[in-house]
Structure 1
Amino acid sequence: MQYPGIAASIDADIDNVATLLRLSGLLPEGLDVAPLLAEAKRQLREEADYLREAGQMRRYGALLEGDGRFAVPRPVDALLRPTVLPMTFQAGVPIEDLASAPEERRNAALGALVELVLRELFDFGLMQTDPNFANYRWQPDSGRIVLLDFGATRAITPATAASYRSLRQAGLSGDAGQVREALVAAGFVSPAQDLRHRTAIEAMIGLMLAQLHASRDAGFDFADRSVVAALRERAAPLLADRASWHLPPTETLFVQRKISGTVLLCVRLGARLPILDLLDRDR
């Protein structure tokens, strides 16, 4: 049930955040966050529309029908209202409980979530972009993952999917230069950063590629943070160069939020997954 007044306060709340960002000086003067704030307002309005969310829940149920790794609730249409979203009950425990599960079961569940992200991006053209851990439950008896909260579901445009395909292919090639070019094309690295910090960027990419490709036989160990300090050191000049900061396309930011959140969950639960094999499947 939606808290009264939430939908009506969205615009004012986002505008207040924008004011605080401007007054705090946290962001460079030339960084235009207006498109991101406008999109945040739009998405929050959509998340407050429970009729829309019920429709997205049905879509995910249909897309994942027959996939025994997932369970998706069904909306109860007779009781559905714009601010009330009743659904069938799905038993489960917090996804974090996987931390105490045997490694094989833990990796199977997290591998399913990683594969789901790839299917959302490359197959479905539709992604639930909120990776809050509370949106997942785990059923120890069946091993299934319960998916909850479809308010942040959004369509993925072919252009965004194509950018990620290029980035995926570059990563699989193991060529740091190709990855850097794909990052620039996708909007993750600004032309100014590419011009001023190309050596540091390629060095960071090289570290990540080396760790990724070394994992082909044993699987990628998300708990291995050995390269983090080296990445942080090489990133320092880019972070200090505030004039070169910029925002990727808004849709890409929402997609990346889901990808980053899924990676964080894998790190939190110490997953070891055949990432190269998952990425290398035909899509």
Structure 2
Amino acid sequence: MSELGRAIPRGSVSRTARLASLPLGAAGRATLGIGKRLSGRPADAVQAELQQRTAEQLFAVLGQLKGGAMKLGQTLSVFEAAVPEEVAAPYREALVKLQEEAPPMAARTVHAVLSQQLGGRWRERFRHFDDAPAAAASIGQVHRATWRDGRDVAVKIQYPGAATALMADLNQLSRFARLFAALFPGMDVKPLIAELKARVVEELDYGLEADAQRAFAAAYADDPQIVVPRVVASAPKVIVSEWLEGTPLSKIIATGTAEQRNRAGHLMAVLHFSGPQRAGLLHADPHPGNFRLLADGRLGVIDFGATARLPDGHPEPIGRLVRWALEGRAADVLADLRAEGFVRPGVEVDAPAVLDYLRPLLEPVASSHFHFTRAWMQKQATRIADPRSEASRLGRQLNLPPSYLLIHRVTIGSIGVLCQLDAAGDYRSVIEEWLPGFVA
């Protein structure tokens, strides 16, 4: 069998075994919890210990895997700020590793992919190629090289068999998505996995990714705030683009100064809201591994595998709804929510109650200064997730139309990263400039 044919399947048995261990481990922990309660330990203490053990096993398993498990781990990692601190703190380092690391391919497999994608004389296109990967993630890894014209480049190479592994892992994970509920309050992981599965075909097509990167690079050419490396060459399983030097956002989160955190947070917001207006695309994968803070203060964006096509920019009703909610126009907000499908026909909800549900979520743009913190996000997650709360009951009556699903997920994910950054600044001015409908 060729190197390309056997690269991924060889590890499929161990991957399946690790994934299968998750529900078995949960059953064991539940039994342990019942036993400890019978022995007289307080229920809260037992629950906290079960949460910690669940987190430890989930992060350990996801951190060892490529494919869908790695993709889900990276996606969930942006919501780490919503996890209760007593659970999140011991495993924050593991989540950061999910954003930046994965087991590498063997060099001979890398060479086989390059030969297949760039031709048998692929080495002639480079002055130098480093066999050791500079970074690795869910469906591919990146190598540093020097192009034939002397430019430093990043060579993104897809794992052979990635499509099979990705779908197998996501199918497996969807069977016990409920295990994640203990760690991410209010989040239903099953729809998230379904969305990831629906986008697999696009993410595996590096031709589409290269086109998206070209569109962003053209839109932000010579921009003073955001830099997108230009694509040098591309093939269905390989992208060669200009190398971008900078500090990974994960390091800014861990050890960055307040100035770096605030700068990165502001530019993340600028990218999120300006992308649809300038490039007709929404960058849809906001985890920190996809961003760098450059020495000159610009934000570097290095991965475009997940994008949403918004040729007309952000939907205008979003900006209008935010403006009306901040103005306290409860009846208008409810009427527009109905018109856009956020409230299903025949469902009766109270307009002031809807406004009370939304207003805390809009605090970041209610004034010219806001400080994103983990405590704030945990408070919002608890408010919405607690089944006894009015917010939770109302939330279950609302509907998220399919056309808004990805925008909503990316927005919440971006907010999660801002909370990890502990970023403060003027976010209202960003949406005043870039969000259609917000300014009358």
Interval of TM-score (by shorter of Structure 1 and Structure 2)? 0.7 to 0.9
What is the aligned partner in structure 2 of residue 267 from structure 1? 419
Q: Choose the corresponding residue for 2:264, options 109, 119, 123.
A: 109
Residue 378 of structure 2 is aligned to residue 223 of structure 1: no
Which residue identity lines up with residue 412 of structure 2 in the other structure?
S
What is the aligned partner in structure 1 of residue 220 from structure 2? 64
Cα deviation for residue 158 of structure 1 reads: 4.7
Cα deviation for residue 91 of structure 1 reads: 0.8
Q: CA RMSD in A?
A: 3.9
- 8 Å contact 1:204–1:231 — kept in the other structure? no
CA distance in 1, matches of 2:250, 2:191: 36
Deviations 1:59-83 (A, max 9, x none): 1000111212222122232xx3211
Q: Choose the corresponding residue for 2:208, options 47, 52, 63.
A: 52
Q: Which has the higher strand share?
A: 2
CA change 1:17–1:57 in 2 (3 A) is same
Cα deviation for residue 56 of structure 1 reads: 0.9
Which residue identity lines up with residue 3 of structure 1 in the other structure?
Y
What is the aligned partner in structure 2 of residue 146 from structure 1? 300
CA change 1:16–1:157 in 2 (3 A) is farther
CA change 1:111–1:93 in 2 (3 A) is same
CA change 1:191–1:137 in 2 (3 A) is farther
- 8 Å contact 1:222–1:271 — kept in the other structure? yes
- 8 Å contact 1:121–1:161 — kept in the other structure? no
- 8 Å contact 1:126–1:156 — kept in the other structure? yes
Q: Please show how residues 131-280 of structure 1 align to structure 2 within 5 Å.
A: 131-139=286-294, 141-156=295-310, 158=312, 161-188=315-342, 190=344, 195=348, 200-208=353-361, 212-213=365-366, 215-216=367-368, 219-223=369-373, 225=375, 229=379, 232-233=382-383, 236=386, 237=389, 244=396, 248-280=400-432
User: What is the percent sequence identity of the aligned residues?
Assistant: 25
SS at match of 2:308: strand
- 8 Å contact 1:71–1:147 — kept in the other structure? yes
CA distance in 2, matches of 1:224, 1:44: 31
SS at match of 1:73: coil
Give the total of aligned pairs. 270
5+ unaligned residues in a row in structure 1: which ranges?
25-30
Q: Higher Cα Rg: structure 1 or 2?
A: 2
Q: Please show how residues 28-47 of structure 1 align to structure 2 within 5 Å.
A: 37=194, 40-47=196-203
Deviations 1:100-128 (A, max 9, x none): 44434432332122022111244543112
Which residue identity lines up with residue 358 of structure 2 in the other structure?
I
CA distance in 2, matches of 1:18, 1:178: 38
5+ unaligned residues in a row in structure 2: which ranges?
1-156, 181-187
What is the aligned partner in structure 1 of residue 32 from structure 2? none
SS at match of 1:261: helix
SS at match of 2:240: coil
What is the aligned partner in structure 1 of residue 67 from structure 2? none
CA change 1:239–1:274 in 2 (3 A) is closer
- Normalising by structure 2, we get a TM-score of 0.51
What is the aligned partner in structure 2 of residue 120 from structure 1? 275
CA change 1:243–1:271 in 2 (3 A) is closer
Deviations 1:125-180 (A, max 9, x none): 311211111111112x2112110111111202659613323323324424344444
SS at match of 1:76: strand
CA distance in 1, matches of 2:291, 2:321: 27
Q: Which structure has the higher relative contact order (CA within 8 Å, separation 6+)?
A: 1
